[in-house]
Chains A and B, each alone.
Chain A
Amino acid sequence: MKEDTPSLFAPGGQASPGTAFTLPQSKDGGAARLVTIFGSLDPHGARRAHYVFDVGKPAYSEIVLPADGLLHSIARELPGAAWHERELHDQYGIEIVGHPDLRPLVFHDNWPDGVYPMIGRVDDVPWSQREYRFLQVQGEGVAEVAVGPVHAGIIEPGHFRFSVVGDTILHLELRHFYTHKGTEKLFEGKSVGDGTMLAESVSGDNCFAHAVCYSQAVENAYGIEVSPRALAVRLIGLEFERLVCHISDVGGLCTDVGFSVAAAYATRLKESVLQASVQCCGTRYWRGIAVPGGLRFDFDAARVAELAQAVARTARDFSKIARLIVETPSIQNRFETAGILTRKAARDLAVVGPVARASGMDLDVRRDHPYGDYGKRPIEVPVTHYGDVMARARIRIAEAAISAQLIRDAAKFLPDGSAFTPITSQADIQGFSAVESPRGELCYWVEARGGRVIRCHIKSPSFQNWPAMPLAVAGNIIADFPLINKSFNLSYSGCDR
């Protein structure tokens, strides 16, 4: 990863009234895809803004700007930057000029103006009362429907403000960050090893992807070579998580259209592999396994083989039931043309993961920026351009089958050797890593001094994808919202952190 690319700075480095830079181009000519924007403090306590772009295989490119002055918003050129810039403002108090909407994002009405948690201490922040203005749609027959933060199911909290005419949604405004726990701040002062536990608690059903991504960022920075055995087990874990997540999602889609037999069947398949996982490694969701340097404990090859067999059985059953699902006419009637996210909208908002691949964006970190064991053999990436609920369901069904295949191959040739390489260095480091989590591109950026984390930024795929959801639901009926929402399957906690 490149740092400080001076040619991209505007003349003079820090132009007035704010710092500007030319947006990077990707190797194939178009605008490079925005990956993330975040802030940090330099050793003197001055604020910096980091912009990470995907300029094409295999490198990510990072631009670091001084940010104690003003920053020019890039959200008008790259709408996918809008939430990142709002977060930068909320966390660091960085002034951003030309932003279309700088309302508070992370902190709600109870948070006092002028308190920025990433600079300085935030003990005993007083309770405040400020006003948040929702966008109001006006006109004859327009009604507002407010949903949440507490939803009518076993789901995470978030607020949806619909403006509807009759049943049809004209506009949806999201208000999230109800589950904001200040996770990035909590990383400060943790030992690089203990940081894994926080990473595992960012998004509960993708905890292994978070743990591996965090670990890789640390390993990359220290230049640690992780053992082949650890890499193989990590690949199995990452694909296991994807399989579980996709089975659960397809089942959830069936629940939302009242196809309860198929839904119950999917929950049964999911539970059967989770129980197989307990037999293999003592945990259902692969917590407490990955750590910087490899794995917390070694795996027994015979048990890994048993897990792979259970996965193969489940994947076989799942592909049968999945075919029945997508071939059922009443399902087709509900899934097809519902919640279309156009390719243009997906590109503008720099959407990632299965949602992007269902809208014609051909990207997958495993293939484009290989990590761990993924560079070894070609990986199939299903892409379709319909962009509707059915497309997202089909992408997940195809990916689940590929995951099972990858697990089978990896379990067959589990390398010998140790599963852990200790980290002895206490050098000052900055490390970056990206992982294709079940929801898409997940990134960690870690800075540490003397073996303690001083800054950890988490770019979760859900943070990137949530702003696209309102575009997909516009024009649909409000009764289809739960279905469309489920087809995106975004994590609230992963987004809010």
Chain B
Amino acid sequence: MIGDVIKRSLRQRSPVIPVEALLGNCDGSRMPEIVADHLTPAIAQKLIEVCPTSALGIEEREGRRCLRLSYGQCIGCGKCAETGQGAVAVARQFNRCGVAKEQTVRLWDIDGRAEVTPPALNAEEARGQIHSLLQRALNVRQLDAGSCNGCEAEITALTNPYYDLERFGIHFVASPKHADMLLVTGPVTRNMAEAVKATYDAVPAPKLVVAVGACGCSGGIFAGSHAIVGAVDAVIPVDGYIPGCPPTPAMLVTGILEVLRRRVAK
């Protein structure tokens, strides 16, 4: 019986997705992007009204009125794209996974119709650096601080034959004591706050912490609840943020490798 299964598997072509096709890929994430040419003050106003998590807002930057999009708060609900009259599109590439918190925010000058924030990173250069990191070892411990299980479903997918995280030398481990990196999902609930701190303390230094998903980055749709303490960084220090609700496996791969790259580049 088992022989049949193995034979069957061997007959099929490996579905593994090359790393080049994963980095920056955000298909299926519903992450929005502003199309600056179509931006007007009236549309910007409408956008911030429909956003359920205040991911969209108005912010002054050097005397200019800007539309702010905080990807860490975005749950990809698509309401902005519905009301944006062409000023919002679904992103085709997304390079802000595993970045520092300030880089999860983008600003567009509403009157000038142009983005004022610099690109997150030189994507080509980052890719080159990431390649040199592959096949070293990284032990990851996933920690659910109160998520809805959406992020867990996508993190579990990282071990399937399409993403095959093991090929990069990245393993999921059972104990925080064996981990180099904590991958933390969910808003930190009141009931989990103590366990989150204890888990963080159990990871030997040097350690990396990645906040995963809208809830992990900002509290997401649960921000302000009486039963949550806040985002992951309200409880433990965070090195990188992976937005998305939930982030797709490709975004998770991009984010984990980017956090690693930033650590090595330091």
Among residues of A, the one whose C-beta sits closest to the C-beta of B152 is: A154
**Nearest Cβ on chain B to A195's Cβ, whole angstroms:** 10
Q: Given A185-B225, A194-B52, decide whether A155 and B152 contact each other with a Cβ distance below 8 A.
A: yes
- The answer to whether B226 touches A150 (Cβ under 8 A) is no
Q: Given A154-B156, A201-B148, decide whether A181 and B2 contact each other with a Cβ distance below 8 A.
A: no
Q: Does A343 touch B at the CB level, under 8 Å?
A: no
Contacts of B227 on A, CB cut-off 8 Å?
117, 180-182, 185
- The answer to whether B226 touches A178 (Cβ under 8 A) is no
Segment of A30-38, A264-272, A347-355 engaged in the interface with chain B: A264-272
The 8 Å CB contact of B189, one of A152, A180, A205, is A180
User: Of residues 121 to 171 in A, which have CB atoms within 8 Å of B's CB atoms?
Assistant: 122-123, 125, 149-150, 152-157
Q: Does B205 touch A at the CB level, under 8 Å?
A: no
The 8 Å CB contact of B226, one of A122, A285, A287, is A122
- The answer to whether A110 touches B149 (Cβ under 8 A) is no
**Nearest Cβ on chain A to B17's Cβ, whole angstroms:** 10
Q: Does A186 touch B at the CB level, under 8 Å?
A: yes
Contacts of B147 on A, CB cut-off 8 Å?
156, 179, 204, 493
Contacts of B172 on A, CB cut-off 8 Å?
153-154
Q: Does B70 touch A at the CB level, under 8 Å?
A: no
The 8 Å CB contact of A204, one of B27, B145, B159, B246, is B246
**Nearest Cβ on chain A to B172's Cβ, whole angstroms:** 6
Contact flags (1/0) for A186-227 with B, using CB distance below 8 Å? 100000001001100111110100000000000000000000
Q: Does A456 touch B at the CB level, under 8 Å?
A: no
Contacts of B190 on A, CB cut-off 8 Å?
107-108, 110-111, 180
Give Cα A181 to B52, complex, Å: 17
Q: Does A278 touch B at the CB level, under 8 Å?
A: yes
**Nearest Cβ on chain A to B253's Cβ, whole angstroms:** 13
- The answer to whether A282 touches B30 (Cβ under 8 A) is yes
The 8 Å CB contact of B149, one of A107, A108, A204, A264, is A204
Contact flags (1/0) for A77-119 with B, using CB distance below 8 Å? 0000000000000000000000000000001101100000100
Segment of A230-238, A321-329, A407-415, A465-473 engaged in the interface with chain B: A321-329
Among residues of A, the one whose C-beta sits closest to the C-beta of B53 is: A197
- The answer to whether B78 touches A296 (Cβ under 8 A) is yes
Among residues of A, the one whose C-beta sits closest to the C-beta of B223 is: A186
- The answer to whether A288 touches B77 (Cβ under 8 A) is yes
- The answer to whether A203 touches B149 (Cβ under 8 A) is yes
Contacts of A493 on B, CB cut-off 8 Å?
146-149
Q: Does B204 touch A at the CB level, under 8 Å?
A: no
Give Cα A48 to B147, complex, Å: 31
Q: Does A261 touch B at the CB level, under 8 Å?
A: yes
Q: Given A152-B175, A284-B28, A287-B76, decide whether A321 and B5 contact each other with a Cβ distance below 8 A.
A: yes
Give Cα A111 to B248, complex, Å: 35
Give Cα A493 to B161, complex, Å: 27
- Report how many A-B pairs have Cβ atoms within 8 Å: 187
Most buried by B among A156, A177, A203: A156
The 8 Å CB contact of B160, one of A267, A285, A328, is A267
Count residues of B near A (Cβ-Cβ below 8 Å).
Answer: 64
Q: Does A487 touch B at the CB level, under 8 Å?
A: no
Segment of B94-102, B118-126, B191-199 engaged in the interface with chain A: B191-199
The 8 Å CB contact of B2, one of A197, A207, A288, A328, is A328
- The answer to whether B28 touches A271 (Cβ under 8 A) is no
- The answer to whether A271 touches B149 (Cβ under 8 A) is no
- The answer to whether A155 touches B144 (Cβ under 8 A) is yes
Contacts of A125 on B, CB cut-off 8 Å?
226
- The answer to whether B144 touches A197 (Cβ under 8 A) is no
Q: Does B75 touch A at the CB level, under 8 Å?
A: yes
Q: Does A488 touch B at the CB level, under 8 Å?
A: no
- The answer to whether B161 touches A267 (Cβ under 8 A) is yes
Q: Does B174 touch A at the CB level, under 8 Å?
A: yes
**Nearest Cβ on chain A to B157's Cβ, whole angstroms:** 6
Q: Given A182-B226, A203-B149, decide whether A287 and B1 contact each other with a Cβ distance below 8 A.
A: no
Q: Does A492 touch B at the CB level, under 8 Å?
A: yes
Most buried by B among A181, A201, A296, A321: A181
Contact flags (1/0) for B1-39 with A, using CB distance below 8 Å? 110111011000001000000000001101000000000
The 8 Å CB contact of A152, one of B15, B174, B186, B224, is B174
- The answer to whether A178 touches B160 (Cβ under 8 A) is no
Contact flags (1/0) for B169-181 with A, using CB distance below 8 Å? 0001011100000
Contacts of B257 on A, CB cut-off 8 Å?
none
Give Cα A183 to B187, complex, Å: 12
**Nearest Cβ on chain A to B224's Cβ, whole angstroms:** 8
Give Cα A333 to B215, complex, Å: 42
Contacts of B4 on A, CB cut-off 8 Å?
324
- The answer to whether A178 touches B30 (Cβ under 8 A) is no
Q: Given A180-B191, A283-B30, A284-B248, decide whether A156 and B152 contact each other with a Cβ distance below 8 A.
A: yes
**Nearest Cβ on chain B to A298's Cβ, whole angstroms:** 13
Q: Does B143 touch A at the CB level, under 8 Å?
A: yes
Contacts of B156 on A, CB cut-off 8 Å?
154, 267
Q: Given A181-B227, A207-B150, decide whether A324 and B5 contact each other with a Cβ distance below 8 A.
A: yes
- The answer to whether B1 touches A201 (Cβ under 8 A) is no
Q: Does A262 touch B at the CB level, under 8 Å?
A: yes
Q: Does B73 touch A at the CB level, under 8 Å?
A: no
- The answer to whether B150 touches A268 (Cβ under 8 A) is no
**Nearest Cβ on chain B to A461's Cβ, whole angstroms:** 14
Closest 3 CB pairs between A and B? A204-B150, A182-B227, A152-B174
Q: Can you show 25 pairs from A to B with CB atoms below 8 A apart?
A: A108-B191, A111-B190, A150-B199, A152-B175, A154-B156, A179-B189, A179-B192, A180-B227, A185-B226, A197-B52, A198-B221, A201-B150, A201-B245, A203-B149, A207-B148, A267-B157, A272-B15, A274-B28, A275-B162, A283-B28, A283-B30, A284-B154, A288-B76, A329-B1, A493-B147
Apart from A186-B221, A262-B5, A268-B162, list 5 A-B contacts with CB within 8 A: A156-B149, A180-B146, A204-B152, A267-B156, A271-B161
